[in-house]
Structure 1
């Protein structure tokens, strides 16, 4: 009689037939459920007796392994005509094996996180915004590793888990799946600031000056970051914070008017109540444009109250206005300085990283809005305390004809300043309101209709469930399809040896259907969460319409306001695999590329109508994913020239970074994809040298983006800094041009700031291996 069995790790344990009975019963239950019947536990026991009898006859002189016992179960089930039960048992057995592998992988991940230095571990540099060597960074990675494996083994459909593990798809932010968090949000500061808000640790009153507006804007970003796994953006920073500038001017104006009365008229009269009465009578406040009604009423008051002539009235009001405006300008600069410094130093997510933050601005033509934008850009240009380039927030300048694009436009000077600052500090990026797919939503009388983007490229504006606006909305989740693998399987340089068009699009269609189902599954998890699970995002009404819910209400309808996005990576490598060349090399490849992404867009549009959800296509920002798919595919298919022969796949629909091409040609090729990728996109151009020395060329690139129909674009260029002498600019080689320090002979290295995605810049040592390789391969685009 068999008394023991051997485990997979070599341990000998007692043989327990009841475990076989339970496994057979579970398999039979799965079959019975399909038939609408119930499984028979006693029959499972009888089958177990047959399995035990078989084992005793075969292994009476030895100890069978777990695998041999499971093989015996399958044999008996088939021999007794329980074919469907045997199939269910095999699936059960396979799933148990997969879960064991997940546990093994988890332990290896924990070991790497614990004992490896970030410099030697790609895993610890998966997110360049996290310092993997710090205690809190390590703790965050522990939690991430455990949560990923739990979601793969216990939460999501095993089919989706297998496709993710195999590298057919990539489920982004998988570690946040079970938490039900949404990805990102465009925060409506007007709504949040009106009457004040709570962070959960205390109530903050409505701000009353620009410094408070700026401080609370940073706090709002930080607080919301703790409820979401993606980034935070402010869609109309200029319009929102212009109110703070106006309040500051009113305070400074009234204060300086009281001083002027005292100094110029030698009067100690307290005029506070009188000024408030003038405001009530006219319905106006002191403002930077000094409204005609208020100004006239004020002058009449001064003249009659203090018995002074018109010349003295004019002297007092001129002095007061000039002093107040100068003080407001200085206060705004200091407020913007505090805002940017805060977002580069304040931490979220248990102190492991600064918030992913973006701000959109550029179209407010009021005096207050212009003062705000001017000082925001000047602070960005100045850099941080020691002259460092700010990493966050991502500044995004909205370009619009009639507002800031042409010399006669009211904000043209700010567009010029934005170009100068971007040439020095990498930001602002530029979003183009006039792109047809953005302009269709634009209402010149409603700034909430203006396109706003997350710095990473995520775009949300159309809405099948409500208002077409980015405000108070964001992406819920997204999953990326491995396009190069499909190319390898059906292309001229892959398994087929020729382009099998029909098979390619058939499998692409099947994967799109799978990803749509997977995103709907995730949306169901998100919708089953409650307001109390997201006390700031939902509890403070940041997400659109969430103020209508009670604390214990679920979020089924709320999450429908967001987007479900299907991403793609490596279109260039896919095209090479399919027809032997990418879209930078031939018109044929470009046409095929547009056909592929157009097919994805059509599928998403159909899903919008079918499911009543905002499905869209996103040109995946490939920070952590850039090397993962490539490693898996190289192992599976070998080293394929132009496809798997580098350590990364090309970012979304971009022309490969190593391909020599002019800036204008690159923009022209990538622009048509922006209309198709309605959930997000970005175009990069790589410039050499110091663009500050050639602002005209820099501006030509921005203008060419706009005229070509680009939706969102940025210009990459080197930003280097010697931390010893403070030089900031371009350092060719290893010698500082300012002090002559030789980096190669010093332990203190230069900071070399590079952009790796639309939202993330940093020093090269924080990039994972795939992004390091990609950055190294980048060629410069001539203008």
Structure 2
């Protein structure tokens, strides 16, 4: 009857009526039908209507599908029509995904995306990003249930590291001490235990790199001082310093992920008081203070200095001198950051709690021992608080109803991901699982499932934009009024209570995360601005404020900011961090820095940092705050600008546009000057 049909790309191809029959039959089968004869009869009706409407003129695929829907409905096959429409919509989504993918590939080849400030611009990095784009499209259209994938696409929530959805886990606190004591295998042979400091730190770098290749998030040593101490007992400060210097060099140059990035590495230390452990801490800090070969500020590792009263907080404490050194180094290099072991929520675990630079915290465990080593976050998904607040139209009851719906969907999505991850085998993560890094994985064989192992990990709903949500609900954020602060605490406490209930429901470690928002801060704001327009104080910037933070451009004193944000840390048991911003490195005011740190501790913070500009001329090596576009000494435009982005350090040229906008809006928090 018909010879040709026009495809969606404009090409003409031979018309095949059996494809209509097959599509109708598949739709019928989806609702329990088994009668192919009826499908053939309905096809004839479609052909009759096509002939009547187009009378010899060529038509397209979409016109045929419209006609199929019309015939099914008019002949009383409503359920089959609904199944056909759903099938058609899914096919459209798949085609759109393929088209979007090609657009993404073209864009990456021209300019790599900057979702992750630790990704380089190398050819391998571009290939990694192309694979990432393809993987995201696959998971959104083929694996993740539609209500969840659509919620992600709309911006109700954001599934982090979507490209690795079913292939690996987020992060881990690596049991370094055991690996160094027993040795390990990276795939090409056994590496025996080291004997000297330099060998120990070289292997530590290899362990971080190997683990990063198995995962998509951070790699951390929870007890670096304790675990390396046995290898420096017979070494002097010179040998120990050389070992720590080599570790820092390696972690800023040793690439993982097919050469696309250096490992996201964190080292926790500071509370071990043995002479050997103190030597490890002292020399690591001194090597970090010295910087890289020409004095550049190291990006990694993120050093996290543990603080506890009676250990290092006050004069007379055995490690008080190390705290003073940590303050000096942090005042020059932005690291170390500081964690507080005697905060109300950490103290019960002794000095067992470890953090990562992205703020991740893993400790309580409903499925086993409450330890940090050998555990990590499995995945996290962020809720768009401002969007919920905008839709609530200042009705708090409606806000909480929408929040319940979104949080319930988020928890179901995280559980879905857990089920997918649980199907992985040890051989899918050959170093992390094969070498027994994860708690409970020792002794497993390559074909064994990892389900019984990853039950020790955490699943974390996160949130972003509390400040903008409060403005949408009340007209003011929590830095502007006590009422908004009270509501902000109420909202985050409510989130924590609901997340705890999800832990009971699924019998897994659900925890609440103060999201380390890098790409999502701009993505959510862009989507909401498009849907709701420009709302002053809410969607009028290129980004949303990170987690529970006071907006970066709001003028607030250092101690007031700490007091306001400190109240939120206890609710965010999956991780949290707060910062204060200074105009320049506080090198000559260690007393003030110590006062800030002690106020952070008194405000019940778990993890915190001090921010300031660190600029470096790559031509003449001058270091300082360089406000001009060129070096004041040699006039070179090659200025390397290091800033903190979500907990880790990065150079500004790797920030995405939203984070550049946020950086430009950051105000200096008043309280003291860098030189008093």
Among 363, 378, 381, which residue is 2:286 paired with? 378
Contact 2:630 2:639 survives alignment (8 Å):
no
Structure 2 counterparts to residues 361-510 of structure 1, below 5 A? 361-442=269-350, 450-491=352-393, 499-510=394-405
- Matched with 1:170 is 158
- Matched with 1:47 is 42
- Matched with 2:653 is 765
Offset at residue 27 of structure 1 (A): 2.1
Aligned partner of residue 511 in structure 2, secondary structure: strand
Offset at residue 115 of structure 1 (A): 2.4
Contact 1:484 1:577 survives alignment (8 Å):
yes
> Does the alignment pair 1:777 with 2:665?
yes
| Distance (whole Å) between structure 1 residues aligned to residue 343 and residue 78 of structure 2 | 60
- Matched with 1:201 is 188
| Distance (whole Å) between structure 2 residues aligned to residue 103 and residue 415 of structure 1 | 54
> Does the alignment pair 1:352 with 2:341?
no
Contact 2:518 2:645 survives alignment (8 Å):
yes
- Matched with 1:751 is 640
- Matched with 2:674 is none
Contact 1:563 1:615 survives alignment (8 Å):
yes
Larger radius of gyration: 1
Aligned partner of residue 68 in structure 2, secondary structure: helix
Offset at residue 157 of structure 1 (A): 1.2
Contact 2:377 2:459 survives alignment (8 Å):
yes
Contact 1:2 1:60 survives alignment (8 Å):
no
Tell which deviates more after alignment, 95-104 or 219-228: 95-104
Offset at residue 24 of structure 1 (A): 2.0
Q: How many residues align?
A: 671
Deviation per CA, 1:762-781, whole angstroms, max 9, x where unpaired? 22111110000000000000
> Does the alignment pair 1:641 with 2:536?
yes
Among 464, 468, 476, which residue is 1:581 paired with? 476
- Matched with 1:604 is 499
Structure 2 counterparts to residues 101-500 of structure 1, below 5 A? 101-116=96-111, 118=112, 124-132=113-121, 134-179=122-167, 181-246=168-233, 249=234, 328-442=236-350, 450-491=352-393, 499-500=394-395
Offset at residue 722 of structure 1 (A): 2.1
| Distance (whole Å) between structure 2 residues aligned to residue 471 and residue 42 of structure 1 | 63
Contact 2:156 2:384 survives alignment (8 Å):
yes
Deviation per CA, 1:247-272, whole angstroms, max 9, x where unpaired? xx1xxxxxxxxxxxxxxxxxxxxxxx
Contact 1:485 1:574 survives alignment (8 Å):
yes
Deviation per CA, 1:188-243, whole angstroms, max 9, x where unpaired? 01221232110111211011121111111111101101100111000000000001
Deviation per CA, 1:302-336, whole angstroms, max 9, x where unpaired? xxxxxxxxxxxxxxxxxxxxxxxxx5211100000
Offset at residue 734 of structure 1 (A): 5.2
Offset at residue 338 of structure 1 (A): 0.6
| Runs of at least 5 residues in structure 1 that lack an aligned partner in the other structure | 33-37, 119-123, 250-326, 492-498
Contact 1:598 1:676 survives alignment (8 Å):
yes
Deviation per CA, 1:105-152, whole angstroms, max 9, x where unpaired? 101111111123x5xxxxx222111122x2111111111111111111
Aligned partner of residue 546 in structure 1, secondary structure: coil
Among 76, 80, 84, which residue is 2:79 paired with? 84
Contact 2:392 2:402 survives alignment (8 Å):
no
Deviation per CA, 1:601-654, whole angstroms, max 9, x where unpaired? 111111111111111111111112121111111111111111111111111111
- Matched with 2:411 is 516
Tell which deviates more after alignment, 22-31 or 106-115: 22-31
Contact 2:630 2:638 survives alignment (8 Å):
no
| Distance (whole Å) between structure 2 residues aligned to residue 239 and residue 402 of structure 1 | 18
| Distance (whole Å) between structure 2 residues aligned to residue 576 and residue 389 of structure 1 | 38
| Distance (whole Å) between structure 1 residues aligned to residue 627 and residue 62 of structure 2 | 61
Contact 1:572 1:653 survives alignment (8 Å):
yes
Contact 1:477 1:563 survives alignment (8 Å):
yes
Aligned partner of residue 521 in structure 2, secondary structure: coil
Structure 2 counterparts to residues 606-755 of structure 1, below 5 A? 606-733=501-628, 736=631, 740-742=633-635, 746=636, 748-755=637-644
TM-score (norm 1): 0.84
Greater percentage in helix = 1
| Distance (whole Å) between structure 1 residues aligned to residue 445 and residue 585 of structure 2 | 54
Offset at residue 716 of structure 1 (A): 0.3
Aligned partner of residue 691 in structure 1, secondary structure: coil
Structure 2 counterparts to residues 555-566 of structure 1, below 5 A? 555-566=450-461
| Distance (whole Å) between structure 2 residues aligned to residue 31 and residue 619 of structure 1 | 44
| Distance (whole Å) between structure 2 residues aligned to residue 630 and residue 41 of structure 1 | 50
| Distance (whole Å) between structure 2 residues aligned to residue 367 and residue 595 of structure 1 | 46
- Matched with 1:311 is none
Aligned partner of residue 445 in structure 2, secondary structure: coil
| Distance (whole Å) between structure 2 residues aligned to residue 87 and residue 598 of structure 1 | 43
- Matched with 2:23 is 23
Aligned partner of residue 692 in structure 1, secondary structure: coil
- Matched with 1:62 is 57
Which consecutive segments of 4 or more residues in structure 1 shift more than 3 A?
A: 732-737
Offset at residue 397 of structure 1 (A): 0.3
| Distance (whole Å) between structure 2 residues aligned to residue 205 and residue 189 of structure 1 | 14
Deviation per CA, 1:62-106, whole angstroms, max 9, x where unpaired? 222222211211111112222122112211111111111111110
TM-score (norm 2): 0.97
Deviation per CA, 1:721-778, whole angstroms, max 9, x where unpaired? 12233222223445756xx333xxx4x322221111102x222111110000000000
**Cα RMSD (Å) of the superposition?**
1.4
